[in-house]
Amino acid sequence: MQAQNWLIDFRGGTRANMYRVLKTVVATRSPYQEILILDTIGFGRALFLDGIPQSSALDEHIYHEALIHPVLVAHRQPKKVFIVGGGEGATLREVLRHNTVERVVMVDIDDTLVALAREHLGDWHQGAFDDPRVELVHADARGYLEKTSETFDCVIVDATDPLEGGPAALLFTTEFFKLAKSRLNPGGTFGMQAEATDIGVCEAHASIIKTLKQCFKSVFSYQAMVTFFGLPWGFAVASDEDIAARFTPQVIAATLRERGCTNLKFYDVESHQHMFALPKYVREAIEDPNVGMIIRDDRVLVVE
Amino acid sequence: MQAQNWLIDFRGGTRANMYRVLKTVVATRSPYQEILILDTIGFGRALFLDGIPQSSALDEHIYHEALIHPVLVAHRQPKKVFIVGGGEGATLREVLRHNTVERVVMVDIDDTLVALAREHLGDWHQGAFDDPRVELVHADARGYLEKTSETFDCVIVDATDPLEGGPAALLFTTEFFKLAKSRLNPGGTFGMQAEATDIGVCEAHASIIKTLKQCFKSVFSYQAMVTFFGLPWGFAVASDEDIAARFTPQVIAATLRERGCTNLKFYDVESHQHMFALPKYVREAIEDPNVGMIIRDDRVLVVE
Amino acid sequence: MQAQNWLIDFRGGTRANMYRVLKTVVATRSPYQEILILDTIGFGRALFLDGIPQSSALDEHIYHEALIHPVLVAHRQPKKVFIVGGGEGATLREVLRHNTVERVVMVDIDDTLVALAREHLGDWHQGAFDDPRVELVHADARGYLEKTSETFDCVIVDATDPLEGGPAALLFTTEFFKLAKSRLNPGGTFGMQAEATDIGVCEAHASIIKTLKQCFKSVFSYQAMVTFFGLPWGFAVASDEDIAARFTPQVIAATLRERGCTNLKFYDVESHQHMFALPKYVREAIEDPNVGMIIRDDRVLVVE
Amino acid sequence: MQAQNWLIDFRGGTRANMYRVLKTVVATRSPYQEILILDTIGFGRALFLDGIPQSSALDEHIYHEALIHPVLVAHRQPKKVFIVGGGEGATLREVLRHNTVERVVMVDIDDTLVALAREHLGDWHQGAFDDPRVELVHADARGYLEKTSETFDCVIVDATDPLEGGPAALLFTTEFFKLAKSRLNPGGTFGMQAEATDIGVCEAHASIIKTLKQCFKSVFSYQAMVTFFGLPWGFAVASDEDIAARFTPQVIAATLRERGCTNLKFYDVESHQHMFALPKYVREAIEDPNVGMIIRDDRVLVVE
């Protein structure tokens, strides 16, 4: 047996995922994070930020479709969308599929990452950065939202994990959620990646959902299996409107049809039902007053 | 950093899962398979057969509840149940929760495994082997079914993967499914573990579902995330009766209530909906005529 | 490919050795250290203390013969020997081969380790603990030496690595070397394991040799490849006598013959020459004033 | 703990070395072999061919100096040298240090490898390919030797391991050794890399030495620790002249001095003694009639 190149993701030190590497495409450090783009055997091209798996060619569409379509379907007619993060461009790609969308402001702090994604992750962005509806800004998204007077129909957070000392921590707090809400038009919807919903580790997800419930009248937790992570991943959609009425099979089907989103690879009525019907342990974690906490700027969420 | 003991599961050589090992509890070889019981940090006690992860203390209840409750709920009044395999005793444990059950015949070929499970996997069987309703037989289950004249309300296959040259291969074929069906009473239901439904590897699952559809009028594919495997796992329930009528929220809830199964750790109405609403790629694999095959004794399914 | 159990020794995080594990024989914690005895495929039975490889059935004889025979050959007639550490009993075994030896005091602080070695490492000690010439003491060896009025012909240190906060650190200092010397009879010799002499990491070895040279008139550095460690291991022998005169081929051969040590598995005249002719980089490290330091109680050596 | 990129060298499946990877510099396949050049943390830049470690920045000088200087010192005045393989250019570099050398013919079949070495392994070749004394040929070296009428003072084989079905197998046989000898001038010397001399695996080395002894009057086995391999590596030097007379400390020192080779990083008189004084188990393997075999074209040596 010959030498094999593996990327080992030591998740907390008690279990680990190994990815068989063919080749390093990019290994660099931007001012904000360590950027690694690899070609792997099992997952094709794959992006890691600060050593944490972000997305792979095999299943990035599951992550990105799961993140975007519920929050856009939840809105009756999304025209203006604000994206926090999403450097690969795939979040943007999914937003632009909805033909109601007229303007997207995407704020990702890391211009190095976006430049590398443009060059090496073509299957992710598929040209989305060049869509005339898009304004791309490289700045701190929270700071940008604080200063702008513009308002949006949807605000979507596609941030990296809130690591110890990392920049994403302030995108998961009550204060940030209220800021985002203040920039929503009436009827606006808010969506975000909301950390793992694995049986071993769904406390962070529970904290996020609980915190959102302090800020919005209607909050949904949902999840999708992301094989690249080796575990199911949580998302949230929130609004002061009654989202539930938008999530009936009839409305979802009609909305996708009207907006030209019928050829999605993952998301449709049944995948929606799969994601929004939660395994019992996720519901229990969210309902258990002893699990998780209300996240605040002075008491941030930190995952390992 | 010091030496660390890891069990590495090289799944096909392109990705791998690593389990941090505290201690080997059992490492032996029965006449049928290599048996390894480990204490791990992330998953607690864990069983591997022929080097393949079977179940862990952390989430064995998800696998076993997912396997058992749909096939028993699908039957109006299951009294006699036949189990193929299931050496840990947890499949048996879940069957016995249904208070309609009067007799269970469990046939597992490997008496060494069952003896070790009795001693070291107490949290799995919880005494189920000693329930007076249980007859435990150590024999080839297919041969047993061929010879017996007894019939059952439910037949459940909890077999290991159909490995190259392994004994389980003949439990996944048209011929076996027809044999099992011939031992079902009218209204009988058949359930089985049906291999991975991972985005990278759900061809085996598709083959199983397609083969079942040749044998039964009503076949359902469903799945649950098993963190210990690092991927979602497929199951099937089949019958000549109309199972769909049994799987409405009302009937599921009433059935569980009537049979004293309201305190399950994983399975309830919403978990059922989560499992039975399939991600699009699983549905596509099952519907695609170019994916998978009809499995026969002379053309068996083999997984790596 | 199936799951495989590997012990991974992450040596400093930049390279690592993997040992294929068949079985955990012992995994426990004594009051002093974590004790792990494994059966491996490549090395047979193997001992790890605090996660650091100590010795394996395949090549423990190289380590132990390399440690013992030079320091005993260096003495004209070793009768009384003091051993620090050496819990496996193999150091003791090699000392007892010299038929001049009348008394050995072995002081190993960890009685749990010695009890486990007696039971599980029979090929190491080969009954040495029961030799009537041996007195086995479980105590802090440095404290014991400070208190005893007994003197010895040879003092041998078979200690574990001086880890951060570990108990072995005070066995590598000027103060300890002077203490040991004070318990030597005239003509006495001192020997010790002296850390890796790998091209990447021989600074600790250089520090030990430099420190010994402050304490003894004649100091020899030597080394042997220990495959179980994946690197060459350093040793030292020191005395106020002229050791060089004892290390001519003629004297070595005659001494081994007279003392009944002609059937050693590793050590003989040519192996001695192999060990004592040092690769250039080891000599350079020892001679370079900028490599390493003089070790003192208030400035201990720490290896990772 | 974050994801880490490791190259894992599964040496026969019972032990493995892990190398921490910073970056893939080259990952390609030539018509002859898979070529991988990595930047590692512990070893700096490193070359792997067909997944097998070849040399690293940290210690390639040990391997290449060990291979070259004994065979050149063994000759009284080496003017014409023939090199088989040696694609990195470091073997060539060491040959050229001897100021007696007037002409070197280097035959490496893989022009892709040499081109990549020129570009990425500058610390290896240090411009040696452009030395006017060098003729570089890309051809099968054995075929070249068969056809040429030129004769040489030294023939040196720096081939890859004789893998199952690989091209190097025919460079380790009696027939090849006799061919090489027939191209030697009177007094000529032959040198080669001669596989691992590890305690677990020195049978291949023993076979090579035994086979050489059938072809040359004077044969020396020697070895050096190559940390990058995690084990000691064997070499051989052979001649019909009395090599022993050339290997006294006085002759070695004088020869290196006269030829301008006094600033070598590894090789000098004491390193020579270290390498040529063999551990007992290597001598025993070479002397044991039951270990290894005489290698022939119809019974080649194969290592895993």
Across the beta sheet with D218-226, the strand order is D134-137, D103-107, D80-85, D152-158, D184-196, D231-239, D218-226
Residue C173: predicted pLDDT: 97
Cβ distance A44 to A248 under 8 Å? no
Residue B143, Cβ neighbours under 10 Å: how many? Answer: 12
When the pLDDT of each residue in chain B is averaged and rounded to a whole number, the result is 95
Closest residue in A to D48 (Cα) is A3
Angle at B157 between CA B154 and CA B158, to 5 degrees: 130
For residue A59, give both structure tokens.
């299943």
- Cα gap A40→C288, rounded to integer Å: 45
SS (H, E, C) A150-173: CCEEEEEEECCCCECCCHHHHHCC
d(CA D200, CA C43): 8
Q: Is the pLDDT of residue D5 over 70?
A: yes
Q: Is the pTM of this model over 0.95?
A: no
Please compute the mean of the pLDDT values over residues C15-30 and round it to a whole number.
90
- Could you tell me which residues are beta bridge partners of residue A225? A232
Reading the block at residue B89, the tokens are 């005793």
Query: A246-299: per-residue pLDDT in tens?
Result: 999 999 999 999 999 988 999 999 999 999 999 999 999 999 999 999 999 999
DSSP string, A242-284: -GGGGGSHHHHHHHHHHTT-TT-SS-SHHHHHHHHS--HHHHH
Instruction: State the average pLDDT over residues B201-214.
Output: 96
CA–CA separation, D106 and D113 (whole Å): 14
Residue B133, token pair as written in the block: 């309703």
Contact (CB<8Å) D277/C274:
yes
Residue C120: in which H helix or E strand, if any?
Answer: helix C111-120
Task: Answer whether residue A46 shows pLDDT above 90.
Answer: yes
How far apart are the C-alpha atoms of D144 and D61, rounded to whole Å?
A: 28
Report the alpha-carbon distance of residue C203 to residue C210 in Å, rounded: 10
- Strands C134-137 and C152-158 turn out to be unpaired
| Residue A24 or B226, more confident | B226
- Contacts for D201 with CB less than 8 Å, ≥ 6 apart: D12, D231
Residue C64: partners with Cβ closer than 8 Å, 6 or more residues away = C55, C90, C91, C93, C94
Q: Active-site residues of D: which are they?
A: 158
Q: Which of D21, D38, D52 faces A2 most closely, judged by CB atoms?
A: D52
| pLDDT at B99 > cutoff 90 | yes
Write out the two tokens for C14: 């930049």
Q: Which residues of A170-194 are buried (b: 16+ CB within 10 A; e: fewer)?
A: bbbbbebbebbbebbeeebbbbbbb
Token pair, residue C202, equals: 């021989």
Write down the catalytic residue from C110, C153, C158, C268. Answer: C158
pLDDT digits (tens, 9 = 90+) for A75-121: 999 999 999 999 999 999 999 999 999 999 999 999 999 999 999 99
Of B1, B38, B51, the CB nearest to C2: B51
Structure token digits, residue D3: 């994801």
Do the Cβ atoms of D13 and A1 come within 8 Å?
yes
Cα(B141)–Cα(B138) distance, integer angstroms: 8
Q: Does B165 have pLDDT greater than 90?
A: no
Is residue D148 within 8 Å of D137, Cβ to Cβ?
Answer: no
* Full 3-state SS string of B198-246: CCCCCHHHHHHHHHHHCCCCEEEEEEEEECCCCEEEEEEEEECCCHHHH
pLDDT value at residue A185: 98
- CB < 8 Å to C264, chain D: 280
Handedness of CA D160, D166, D167, D173 (dihedral sign): positive
Contact D227 C8 (CB under 8 A): no
Predicted confidence band of residue A13 (pLDDT cuts 50, 70, 90): confident
Q: What is the ipTM of this complex?
A: 0.95
B253 is in an annotated binding site: no
The chain-wide mean pLDDT, for chain C, equals 95
Residue A42: list chain B partners with CB under 8 A. Answer: 12, 14-15, 200
Residue where the block lists tokens 């039951």: D290
Find all residues with CB under 8 Å of A263, minimum gap 6, and list them.
Answer: none
Phi, psi of A173 (to 5 degrees): -110, 160
Which residues of C touch chain D, with CB atoms under 8 Å apart?
6, 8, 12-20, 40-43, 58-59, 62, 198-200, 224-225, 227, 230-232, 264-268, 270-271, 273-274, 277-281, 283
Which residue in C19, C42, C280 is closest to D200 by CB distance? C42
Strand pairing class (C80-85; C52-56): unpaired
pLDDT in tens, A133-169: 999 999 999 999 999 999 999 999 999 999 887 779 9
Mean pLDDT over residues C18-43, rounded?
92
- Of B179, B181, B273, B151, residue with least CA distance to B222: B273
Binding site annotation covers A167? yes
What local confidence, expressed as pLDDT, does residue B1 receive? 47
Q: Tell me how close the Cα of B261 comes to any Cα of chain A, in angstroms.
A: 14
| D12/A1 touch (CB, cutoff 8 Å), yes or no | yes
Task: Give the pLDDT band (50/70/90) at residue D167.
Answer: confident
Residue C80: exposure state from Cβ atoms within 10 A (0-12, 13-18, ≥19): buried
Q: Report the sign of the C-alpha dihedral through residues B34, B39, B44, B45, in that order.
A: positive
The distance between the two most distant Cα atoms of chain A, rounded to a whole number of Å, is 62
Please check if A273 is assigned to a binding site: no
Cα separation, D207 vs D292, in Å, equals: 5
Cα(A22)–Cα(A45) distance, rounded to whole angstroms? Answer: 9
DSSP state of C245: G
> For the ranges B5-9, B186-190, D36-40, which has the lowest average pLDDT?
B5-9
Q: How many whole angstroms separate alpha carbon C91 and alpha carbon C100?
A: 16
d(CA D222, CA C231): 18
The two tokens of residue A86 are 């999403």
Q: Which helix (H) or strand (E) holds A212?
A: helix A203-213
Q: Per-residue confidence at A11, pLDDT binned at 50, 70, 90? A: confident
Q: Which amino acid is at D115?
A: A
Q: Stretch C164-175: mean pLDDT, rounded?
A: 89
Q: Does the structure show a pLDDT above 80 at D2?
A: no
Chain D residues in contact with chain C using a Cβ-Cβ cutoff of 8 Å: 6, 8, 12-20, 40-43, 58-59, 62, 198-200, 224-225, 227, 230-232, 264-268, 270-271, 273-274, 277-281, 283
D137 and D149 in contact (C-beta within 8 Å)? no
Strand stretches in A86-239, DSSP E: 103-107, 134-137, 152-158, 184-196, 218-226, 231-239
Please report which helix (H) or strand (E) contains residue C176, including its range.
helix C174-182
In this structure, of A224-233, B22-31, B84-93, the range with the lowest mean pLDDT score is: B22-31
- Give the pLDDT of residue C158: 97
Whether C2 sits inside 8 A of B52 (CB atoms) is yes
Q: Name which of B4, B11, B48 is nearest C8 (Cβ-Cβ).
A: B4
Average pLDDT for B97-116: 98
How far is C295 from chain D, CA to nearest CA, in Å? 26
Is B123 among the catalytic positions?
Answer: no
**Residue B4 reports pLDDT greater than 70:** yes
Burial class (CB in 10 A: 0-12, 13-18, 19+), C138: middle
Query: Average pLDDT in the A200-225 region?
Result: 96
Instruction: Go through the domains of chain A in sequence order and give each one's CATH number.
Output: 6-56 (2.30.140.10), 60-287 (3.40.50.150)
pLDDT in tens, C109-157: 999 999 999 999 999 999 999 999 999 999 999 999 999 999 999 999 9
Q: Give the tens place of pLDDT for each residue, A166-205.
A: 779 999 999 999 999 999 999 999 999 999 999 978 999 9
Catalytic residue among A59, A153, A158, A268: A158
The residue behind tokens 């519920």 is A70
**Burial class of residue B91 in the structure, from the number of CB atoms within 10 Å of its CB (0-12 exposed, 13-18 middle, 19+ buried):** buried
Antiparallel, parallel or unpaired: β B103-107 and C152-158? unpaired
Q: Is A83 exposed, middle or buried (0-12, 13-18, 19+ CB in 10 A)?
A: buried
Distance CA C244, CA C70 (A): 11
Q: Rounded mean pLDDT of B214-231?
A: 96
SS (H, E, C) B176-194: HHHHHHHCEEEEEEEEEEE
The residue whose two tokens read 């070249």 is D144
Q: Taking 80 as the threshold, does the pLDDT of residue A232 lie above it?
A: yes
The pLDDT of residue C163 is 83
* Residue/partner pairs of A27-31 with CB below 8 Å, 24 or more apart: A27/D22, A27/D23, A28/A112, A28/A116, A30/A110, A30/A111, A30/A112, A30/A113, A31/A110, A31/A112
How far does Cα C83 stand from its chain's mean position? 10
Q: How many CB atoms lie within 10 A of CB D25?
A: 17
Interchain proximity C42–D279, CB inside 8 Å: no
pLDDT of D166 > 90? The answer is: no
Q: What percent of chain D has pLDDT over 70?
A: 99
Q: Give the distance from CA B99 to its chain's centroid.
A: 21
C3 Cβ partners below 8 Å, 6+ apart?
Answer: B7, B8, B9, B10, B36, B48, B51, B52, B53
In our burial notation (b when 16+ CB lie closer than 10 A, e otherwise), range A3-20 reads bbbbbbbbbeeebbbbbb
Beta-sheet strands, E only, within chain C? 3-11, 15-29, 34-40, 44-49, 52-56, 80-85, 103-107, 134-137, 152-158, 184-196, 218-226, 231-239
**Residue with the two structure tokens 């090849």:** D176
